[in-house]
Amino acid sequence: MSDATQAKEKLAADFRAVMDDIDALMTATTNKADGEAKALRSRIRDRLDGAKDKLLDAQHETVQRAKEAATATDDYVHANPWQAIGAAAAVGLALGVLIGRR
């Protein structure tokens, strides 16, 4: 499983846990003492902060990977300009044929 998939699944699990905590908080505020509600709010806040941090980390990782891919593509095109032109022409031709059939 890729790192991005694992991060997405972990983030989804964290949000499910936050939603469960919110449900518990709603129940606690109507049925329980104020102290327990405060503890639940604190736990929710901590989990939300953790989820935000993970989301930011995933965003930074995605940006870094995109930059690396762009750099690698740029390096390849500079090292092999005619192959890149040929590949672009082939893709353009294929798209032209597909669009022309409609």
For the stretch 10-20, pLDDT in tens is 777 777 787 77
Instruction: Tell me the average pLDDT across 24-34.
Output: 68
Question: Angle at the Cα of 57 (from 59 to 74), degrees rounded to 5?
Answer: 50
Domain boundaries, the chain: 3-101
In angstroms, the CA 79 to CA 68 distance is: 16
Are the C-beta atoms of 40 and 24 separated by less than 8 Å?
yes
pLDDT tens per residue, range 46-100: 887 887 888 888 888 888 999 999 999 999 889 999 998 999 999 999 999 999 9
pTM exceeds cut of 0.75:
no
What pLDDT shows up at residue 29? 67
Q: Per-residue pLDDT for 28 more than 80?
A: no
Stretch 30-38: mean pLDDT, rounded? 68
Higher-confidence position of 98 and 43: 98
The span from the CA of 59 to the CA of 65, in Å, is 10
